[in-house]
Structure 1
Amino acid sequence: MSGTFSSNARNLEFGAPPPGVPACQGLDPEIFHPNPSDANRDPSPAERAALAVCEVCSVRDWCLERDMQECSTDRRISGVRGGLREADRRALHVQRFGRRPARRKAEAGR
């Protein structure tokens, strides 16, 4: 991948990417970080705009899988990636990997 990708795509680089060009190439990465909606509500208009970009993306599955592997905990997930909004990716992450316990304050300072 070249440096012409949005930071959203560039941050997801790992291994050999599949053929195709991410639909987010050249777009403002801020559109992929809208205010998240509640999991029990429909996506917000801003989330729908980002999801529409992902829907036509030829590397959407790769992007989602990379995000799942990259995030060590569901609390690190933010924005829209791989065709799923934040709430849906968090639920998928917990389904796949379980929920990691929060770090205690004493451990966080080490």
Structure 2
Amino acid sequence: MRKIVLPLAAAGALGVAVVPALAATKSVKVGDNYFVRSSGVPTVTVNAGDRVKWNFVGDSPHNVTVTKGPARFSSPTKTSGAYTKKVTKKGLYTIVCTIHGASDQSMKLRVR
């Protein structure tokens, strides 16, 4: 069996749809005084253009606030639900819950 390989321009001319890769969504758990897991400072890695969804599951109020990194963003304070952010600037972000502070609730977000 013989395969026919068309250059990208020819594929478009023939009416073949060229679809860019879809961005992924990475979920991060926000529990009582932790991100991801109950101990340590986790690092979550995503690609530029991906979305990060923080899911609030604890009983106490929390937020997601960038304290260091190539871009700044912050979620509302929540006890349930989710906050989603599309990250486009590459680099390493330090994220904390400003209610509980960096020593109790922090994480790193690496965008490549």
TM range, normalised to the smaller chain?
under 0.3
Between Structure 1 and Structure 2, the one with more helix by share is 1
Larger Rg: 1 or 2? 2
Between Structure 1 and Structure 2, the one with more strand by share is 2
